[in-house]
Amino acid sequence: QQTMASPKSDKKVAIVLCGCGVYDGSETTEVVSALIHLSRAGVEVSAFAPNKEQMHVVNHLTGEEETSGENRNVLVESARIARGKVKALDECDAGDFDALVIPGGFGAAKNLSDFASKGADLTVDSTLEEIMRKFHSQGKPIGLSCIAPTIAAKVFGSIGCKLTVGSDVESEKYPFAGAAGAIKSLGAHHQTCEPNEACIDKENKIVSSSAYMYAGLPHEIDDSVRAMVEGVLSLLA
């Protein structure tokens, strides 16, 4: 397997990417933070992404959708963050790993699911859903940040899992808190957490943190992702 690794590691984590760039892919700060904290913990990380076209392409300078008809592939774009070391999502075998991590970015709501357009009526990429269910059935932790917990709400809401997107009250600091309402409507429980805290559902081994659902500074987002990663690793102890 292509890996980004610490050779001393005895734990293996799969990380799922969804492009490159907050508006149409993975949020780069969140991905890099997750990779750094997993690496520092001596964990071997393998990256995966769907081999499919993005929902659309957004000009990150203007925030506007490109109207030129440009298409980009999620796997190819994800390779930008993973320094080329990324495999197609359908090659991810839960049996090969100890945990699964899914950082945020609008790509999680556009390429890993269609939450961005359908809200609580979302569907999840079928390959990702199957992988998540396998990790869960094998008792292996799943960590999510930013908007990605909405995916877990869709997949595991029926079992009443606990999740967070930080706050369920929209404000200047939590402009996307409305996602908490969707999480609740899907049967999951939303837990309010500080930006540097993670929601740890020990029963279901699902860990989530707000990351850029909170309008914070880069170091605050790093603190949030670190809390999620540490929560995941605590469930492996």
* Distance in angstroms (rounded) separating the CA atoms of residues 70 and 97: 35
Sign of torsion over alpha carbons 31, 33, 39, 41: negative
> Measured between alpha carbons, how far is residue 74 from residues 54, 108, 178, 192 in Å?
6, 11, 26, 31
Q: Express the helix, strand and coil content of the chain in percent, nearest 5 each.
A: 35, 20, 45
Residue whose tokens read 């699964």: 100
β-sheet with 142-145: strand ranges across: 86-88, 44-49, 12-16, 99-102, 142-145, 206-209, 199-201
* 146: annotated active-site residue: yes
Sign of torsion over alpha carbons 225, 226, 227, 231: positive
CA-closest candidate to residue 2, choices 113, 104, 84, 74: 84
Catalytic residue among 18, 92, 146, 199: 146
The residues with which 18 forms a beta bridge, in sequence order, are none
- Tell how strand 58-59 and strand 142-145 pair up: unpaired
Catalytic residue numbers, as ranges: 146
